[in-house]
């Protein structure tokens, strides 16, 4: 884990920031023009085993995230399905005097023959994750 690492400081309380990342079906499509919809399965509170299906305007058209661990206001772990990638990711949330520090660590975990290009995939995937964190920051800070 940790081949990709991105961090952002969000000027909001940890509970608000954690809730945003815990419930992407409520927030992500509203703040990201590339995401058409996010569907939660099963209904109910987010917990290990909860899956989110993201429908995108570009490629891949659908991605999936399955939460594997949820530690309130501290950590969210999830596995993804993004085309030929099977990323294993963790968000950590650290309260600070000015808000919340969010860190993403991700291993893109390419499948099949793409394993030989892991270094290139890791390099290319860092930027989209950094952009997503900045988008979350903008969305959360504008809703104060």
Per-residue pLDDT of the chain (144 residues; tens, 9 = 90+): 448 889 999 999 999 999 999 999 999 888 788 889 999 999 999 999 999 999 988 776 898 999 999 999 999 999 998 877 788 999 999 999 999 999 999 887 766 555 445 544 544 554 678 888 999 999 999 976
Tokens, residue 14: 């940890």
Assigned CATH topology for domain 4-142: Alpha-D-Glucose-1,6-Bisphosphate; Chain A, domain 4 (3.30.530)
pLDDT of residue 2: 45
pLDDT of residue 132: 86
**Backbone phi, psi, residue 137, to 5°:** -60, -50
Structure letter (DSSP) for residue 85: B
Tokens, residue 69: 């661990």
Question: How far is Cα of residue 127 from the mean position of the Cα atoms in its chain?
Answer: 13
**Relative orientation angle of helices 24-31 and 14-22, to the nearest 10 degrees:** 90
Q: Are 77 and 105 in contact (CB under 8 A)?
A: no
């Amino acid at each position: 884990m940790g081949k990709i690492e991105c961090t952002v400081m969000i000027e909001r309380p940890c509970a608000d920031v954690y809730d945003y990342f815990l419930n992407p079906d409520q927030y992500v499509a509203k703040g990201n023009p590339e995401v058409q919809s996010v569907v939660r399965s099963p209904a109910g509170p987010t917990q290990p085993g909860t899956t989110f299906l993201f429908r995108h305007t570009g490629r891949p058209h659908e991605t999936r995230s399955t939460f594997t661990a949820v530690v309130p206001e501290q950590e969210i772990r999830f596995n993804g399905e993004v085309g030929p990638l099977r990323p294993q990711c963790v968000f950590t949330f650290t309260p600070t005097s000015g808000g919340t520090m969010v860190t993403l660590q991700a291993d893109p975990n390419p499948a099949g023959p793409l394993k030989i290009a892991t270094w290139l995939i890791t390099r290319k995937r860092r930027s989209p994750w950094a952009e997503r964190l900045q988008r979350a920051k903008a969305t959360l800070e504008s809703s104060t």
